[in-house]
Amino acid sequence: MVYIKSKKEIELMREACKLTYLTYKELEKHIKPGISTYQLDQIAENFIISQNAIPAQKNYPSGVKGVPNFPSTLCISVNDEIIHGIPSKKVILKDGDVVSIDLVVLKNGFHGDAARTYIVGTPTKEKQRLVDVTQQAFFEGIKYAVPGNRVGDISHAIGEYVKQNGYSVLREFQGHGIGREMHEEPGIPNYGKAGKGLRLEPGMTLAVEPMVIAGSPNILELDDGWTIVSEDGSLTAHYENTILITENEPEILTFF
């Protein structure tokens, strides 16, 4: 079931999404060589709690027997890790690392969800291009996030843009509706056919998130039951915002 948000609910969504954005601004002060992914996780958790909100990903259930709930505030995925990387004291960022961070904040009963990819220290042209294409794929997709269009229009635009730039999209995971629940209907793949899927309506709130692999689209899951990596070891990137379908152009709630 797809939930159309009321004006009051949309205002509450804006608050949660603004805090998601502000948490990234806080993290960006610290993303540099020598810091551990665990330290970044603690910075985010402390900041969110200080704003009377909840780190929504912490203790999120795996849904798989024998795999524990997600243990951290942030998903931090480094280089060939594309999503769901678990922060660790042992993972120390170094110059040139490509670091994707996924963050969900719960405030006043509503969620804000966004992902960003950073290059630690000095970027190379190759790494910067991957990050730029991933980000632009999001904006190519949401050009179609208007009433009357369908989810497949967003998905198709993302997938084609990524393909045209010589990269692959992660096919096994997708974007999603968002609101009182972190994951709501509809699912939003990063590939698909235009004109297919649910028709978009004002009041829908969606998390649109291109997940891009520089090489083959094949993936592996690590033994922790969470972390997803590229099978061929190629670099990856992730970019996501929570958006609102309006009567006209979409409003990006987690980007200012």
Q: Contact at 8 Å (CB) between 2 and 183?
A: no
Whether residue 1 lies inside any domain: the answer is: no
Provide the residue type at 30 as one letter. H
Whether residue 110 lies inside any domain: the answer is: yes
> If DSSP states are collapsed to H, E and C, what string results for 42-104?
HHHHHHHHHCCCEECCCCCCCCCCCCCCCCCCEEEEECCEEECCCCCCCCECCCCCEEEEEEE
Cis, peptide link before residue 61, omega less than 30° from 0: no
Strands 175-177 and 184-188: antiparallel
Whether residue 198 lies inside any domain: the answer is: yes
Residue 114: domain span? 7-251
Q: Contact at 8 Å (CB) between 120 and 95?
A: yes
Q: Contact at 8 Å (CB) between 243 and 142?
A: yes
pTM: 0.97
Confidence (pLDDT) at 209: 98
Distances (CA, A) of 100 to 31, 58, 78, 235: 11, 17, 6, 11
Whether residue 11 lies inside any domain: the answer is: yes
Whether residue 211 lies inside any domain: the answer is: yes
Confidence (pLDDT) at 256: 77
Number of domains in the chain: 1
Q: Contact at 8 Å (CB) between 131 and 41?
A: no
Distances (CA, A) of 3 to 72, 141, 190, 191: 28, 21, 21, 23
Whether residue 58 lies inside any domain: the answer is: yes
| Whole-angstrom distance, CA of residue 34 vs CA of residue 15 | 33
With b for 16 or more beta-carbon neighbours within 10 A and e for fewer, the 162-178 pattern comes to beeeebbbbbebbbbbb
Element containing residue 134 per DSSP (H, E): helix 125-142
Q: What is the pLDDT along the chain (256 residues), one digit of tens a residue?
A: 899 999 999 999 999 999 999 999 999 999 999 999 999 999 999 999 999 999 999 999 999 999 999 999 999 999 999 999 999 999 999 999 999 999 999 999 999 999 999 999 999 999 999 999 999 999 999 999 999 999 999 999 999 999 999 999 999 999 999 999 999 999 999 999 999 999 999 999 999 999 999 999 999 999 999 999 999 999 999 999 999 999 999 999 999 7
Whether residue 2 lies inside any domain: the answer is: no
Whether residue 220 lies inside any domain: the answer is: yes
List residues bridging with 87 in a β-sheet.
none
The CATH number covering residue 123 comes to 3.90.230.10
